[in-house]
Chains A and B, each alone.
Chain A
Amino acid sequence: MQGYIVKRILIAAFTVFTVLTVVFFVFRLGPADPVMVMLPPNATPQDAENLTKKFGLDKPLMVQYGNYLKNAFRGDFGSSFRFDEPALRVLLMRFPATLKLGLVTFILSVTVGLSIGLISAVKPDSIIDRIGRLFALAGMSLPSFWVGIMLILFFGVTLRWLPIAGRGTPLHYIMPAFCMSLYPIALITRLSRSSMLDALKSDYVVMARIKGVPEFYVILVHAFKNASIPVITVIFGIFGALMVGSAVVVEYIFSWPGIGRLVMESFFARDYPVVQVFVIVVTCMVVTLNLIVDIIYAYIDPRIRYQ
């Protein structure tokens, strides 16, 4: 078990390192010269040269890469062009807003998705199953930017029940969280339903019933434990990635002051250090979530633990 965890951590560290490297080269492959982006249009060539020297851009690429890695390990990812502050700090300042919205979305998605999925599997073709399936189909296919705009139009503009932008009160969370959780709910509902259906059909469930195990215990202990493995992958593994993707869109629509909106603004302003640090932080988040999934796997499944 310990060997397994150490191995996973090493793999995770290697993944982060690879992403750091890819990010460095991709941003330098781009056609835009960062110095030209930063300088005002009337700057002299001398200014450009000074700035190039200041950022160490005159040095060979491999030396730049070495310095970049060294700084990265100290948490220094350069300064934001727009705010003249360390890019990481700019990002982390906006992070709590995203995290709070993310947590609300996470709890909403997991509780709603799992409950509908499990009830649907236990009682297939019941009313909850039918409604759940319809909702899951809608959640999978409706794009969040469209849903967001429609929500604003209906609940914000027409009915005036909910605030359409910003954050502050719990009411502010309702629309963005609903909008963001639509897809994860659909995904979790479908996956937990199908893996639970499979588990309930299996021989070990029949065997448990043969032994006279009560039905709730059959469902929760025998079937659900087996069904939970693919569901956990989705809940944690894909969640990190999903969250970031829809956070960018949803935060933009609802003017939510989180990192999703920050990265869009930075992108348009060509504030590359912030975009770069965003990619790296997101990577670390996804890698960490996957590491948690791996450890949960080992906890649930003895076949992984005893490898």
Chain B
Amino acid sequence: MHSNQDNLLELQDVTTTFFTKQGEVRAVDGVSFSVGKGEVVGLVGESGCGKSVTSLSIMRLVPQPAGKIVSGRILFKNEDLMEKTAEEMRQLRGDRISMILQDPMVAMNQLLTVGKQLGEPYKFHDKVRGSLREMCIRLLEKVKVPAPESRVDDYPFQFSGGMSQRALIAMGIANNPDLLIADEPTTALDVTIAAQVLKLMKEIQRETDASIILITHDLATVAQICTRVIVMYAGRIVETAPIKIFYKNPAHPYSVGLIRSVPVLGQPVDRLFSISGQPPSLFAMPKGCRFAPRCNKAEKKCFKHYPPETWLDENHSVACWLYPGD
């Protein structure tokens, strides 16, 4: 995927490092990808692979003071977010760029009413027209919380998990953002509620034509709403592919392993497949390909040098020595 005027968001070689007492950790290491207008992209990977830090980097909300975006450019509507002042970023956040966190129970302030928290994106972006309470009720209605007129005055602990997640989504979409990052929005929910929440997100996307980055480790979720998949491993992107190609023809051995680990309904197996080994420690990254120690196709070269990004076709790229560049 090459630089494109139609891209809403484009990350160029973004590296985010945490400076800890134990040493430097590159949670995100030279990540580049782009998101088109109205596109729904899935960012997939194991826990700790840098998905969440990538999204926090886009928001410029990497935990301080340990974390820092040390290099790269983050272009949003062709403007570099790295050059924005704190106040300019604040104005973008919750207005043009928004995010939904994964655990609604801890992402909501338990001491403020749901309505008060819903109203904040309006209040702090000068978007209040008429009654703020009325606007919050409309918002709850939009995400299908029952009895919004009375629910708006409730406290988060009076909401169920599914309702809290809906309220959280409502906060994210209040100002119809151009980009919505959803960080595992269904992880904390049970399967039926998760399906409802995904359906809701799909509807909202269609209505507002927002671009969505869906961060997840659940391939089933990706299959349901994404058009493209970005696979991250140990802080780097290993494969980018349109959803259909990804499922039919995954290129990177890691992606192949991920897809093979999903059990198929009706197909009896003795033992579920899993990728052997553990992701590398962030403090001791392998010199070559980071997946090499777990890869069954690894060769000598893989342990020595990190593979460059290779384009298999216009939309499908992979970083693996199995696919030599042109």
* A212 and B171 contact, CB distance less than 8 A: no
* B65 and A212 contact, CB distance less than 8 A: no
| Complex interface residues of chain B between 33 and 75 (CB less than 8 A to chain A) | 56, 59, 61, 63, 65
Is B251 interfacial (CB 8 A cutoff)? no
* A211 and B109 contact, CB distance less than 8 A: no
Q: How far is the CB of B99 from chain A (nearest CB, A)?
A: 5
* B155 and A212 contact, CB distance less than 8 A: no
Identify the stretch in B89-97, B189-197, B229-237, B280-288 within 8 Å (CB) of chain A at 4 or more residues.
B89-97
Q: How far is the CB of A233 from chain B (nearest CB, A)?
A: 16
Residue of B nearest to A202 (CB): B106
Q: Which of B107, B124, B158 contacts A212 (CB 8 A)?
A: B124
Point out the residues of chain A lying under 8 angstroms from B112, CB to CB. Answer: 221-222, 225
* A203 and B93 contact, CB distance less than 8 A: no
Given contacts A212-B124, A214-B124, A207 and B95 within 8 Å (CB-CB): no
| Complex interface residues of chain B between 97 and 141 (CB less than 8 A to chain A) | 98-99, 101, 103, 106-113, 120-121, 124-125
* A212 and B125 contact, CB distance less than 8 A: yes
Given contacts A225-B111, A306-B155, A204 and B106 within 8 Å (CB-CB): yes
Once the chains are docked, how many angstroms separate the CA of A37 from the CA of B172? 76
Q: Which of B93, B106, B109, B158 contacts A209 (CB 8 A)?
A: B93
* B121 and A226 contact, CB distance less than 8 A: no
Residue of A nearest to B91 (CB): A212
* B61 and A209 contact, CB distance less than 8 A: yes
Is A130 interfacial (CB 8 A cutoff)? no
Interface residues on chain A, size class: 20 to 34
* B108 and A212 contact, CB distance less than 8 A: no
Q: Mark A54-78, 1 if CB is under 8 A from B, else 0.
A: 0000000000000000000000000
Point out the residues of chain A lying under 8 angstroms from B93, CB to CB. Answer: 209-212
Is B163 interfacial (CB 8 A cutoff)? no
Q: How far is the CB of B170 from chain A (nearest CB, A)?
A: 11
Once the chains are docked, how many angstroms separate the CA of A176 from the CA of B94? 51
Q: How far is the CB of A209 from chain B (nearest CB, A)?
A: 6
* A213 and B94 contact, CB distance less than 8 A: yes
Q: Which of B65, B99, B155 contacts A125 (CB 8 A)?
A: B65
* B101 and A203 contact, CB distance less than 8 A: yes
* A226 and B99 contact, CB distance less than 8 A: no
CB within 8 Å of A: which residues of B?
Answer: 56, 59, 61, 63, 65, 86, 90-95, 98-99, 101, 103, 106-113, 120-121, 124-125, 155, 157-158, 168, 171-172, 174
Question: Would you list 15 pairs from A and B whose C-beta atoms are within 8 A, ordered by A residue?
Answer: A124-B65, A207-B108, A207-B171, A209-B61, A210-B101, A211-B98, A211-B174, A212-B91, A212-B125, A213-B120, A213-B124, A222-B109, A301-B110, A302-B113, A306-B155
Additional pairs, 13, CB under 8 Å, beyond known A201-B63, A206-B61, A210-B93: A203-B106, A206-B56, A208-B109, A209-B59, A209-B61, A211-B94, A212-B121, A213-B120, A217-B124, A225-B109, A225-B112, A301-B111, A303-B157
